[in-house]
């Protein structure tokens, strides 16, 4: 190959001089993934962040629900799904869930420390309570308990 020109050599010397070149600063993260919980995307699908650019999404496609694990990129201030990812039907997702304990045992045998995911995961009853408003029956029970409590107080005051 040919020699580098003197002009290029001079430009490199200027850049490597004692003066520091100001580098553009990176954007500060607004939230860490541990702070973020489940969310809703622009299409109304529930998602859980796995990192800064990855998400697990429950997505409805052609009338069936799928578990979509995908990388996202930012375009015009919006996170858009990228090409890299996998879309699992519920049968394959269930197979993955049943394989996870064996996978964790194998990883632990190779020296990786694995957290107890089932101890830290919220139960389905907690999820139902947090996402849905109380049912009519639950509201009626609370109202009835309130009436019983006030009638007991009235009985105690009259004695």
Give Cα 76 to chain centroid, integer Å.
21
Ranges 67-76, 109-118, 138-147, most confident: 67-76
What number of other Cβ atoms are within 10 A of residue 130's Cβ?
Answer: 10
Work out the average pLDDT over 77-106: 90
CA R_g for the chain: 28
- Give the span between the Cα atoms of 83 and 59, in whole angstroms: 16
- Give the span between the Cα atoms of 26 and 102, in whole angstroms: 40
Q: Is the dihedral of CA 103, 53, 122, 140 positive or negative?
A: negative
**Which pLDDT does position 45 carry in this prediction?**
84
Q: What percent of the chain stands above pLDDT 90?
A: 21
Work out the average pLDDT over 76-96: 89
Structural class in CATH, domain 39-119: mainly beta
**Which pLDDT does position 29 carry in this prediction?**
43
- Give the span between the Cα atoms of 47 and 35, in whole angstroms: 14
Give me the numbers of helices (H) and strands (E) for the chain, helices first please: 5, 5
> Which of 74-81's residues contact partners 24+ apart within 8 Å by CB, and which partners?
78/42, 79/41, 79/55
User: Widest CA span of the chain, in angstroms?
Assistant: 108
pLDDT tens across 106-120, in order? 999 998 888 877 666
């Amino acid at each position: 190959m040919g020699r580098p020109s003197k002009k290029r050599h001079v430009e490199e010397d200027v850049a490597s001089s004692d003066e520091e070149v100001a580098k553009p600063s990176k954007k500060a993260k607004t939230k860490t993934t541990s702070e973020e919980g489940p969310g809703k995307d622009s299409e109304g699908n529930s998602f859980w962040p796995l990192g800064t650019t990855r998400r697990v999404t429950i997505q409805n496609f052609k009338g069936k629900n799928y578990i979509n694990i995908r990388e996202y990129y930012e375009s015009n201030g919006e996170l858009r799904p990228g090409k890299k990812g996998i879309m699992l039907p519920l049968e394959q997702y269930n197979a993955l869930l049943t394989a996870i304990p064996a996978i964790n045992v194998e990883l632990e045998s190779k020296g990786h420390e694995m957290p107890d995911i089932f101890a830290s995961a919220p139960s389905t009853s907690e999820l139902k309570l947090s996402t849905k408003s109380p049912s009519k029956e639950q509201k009626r029970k609370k109202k009835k308990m309130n009436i019983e409590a006030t009638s007991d107080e009235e009985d105690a005051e009259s004695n």
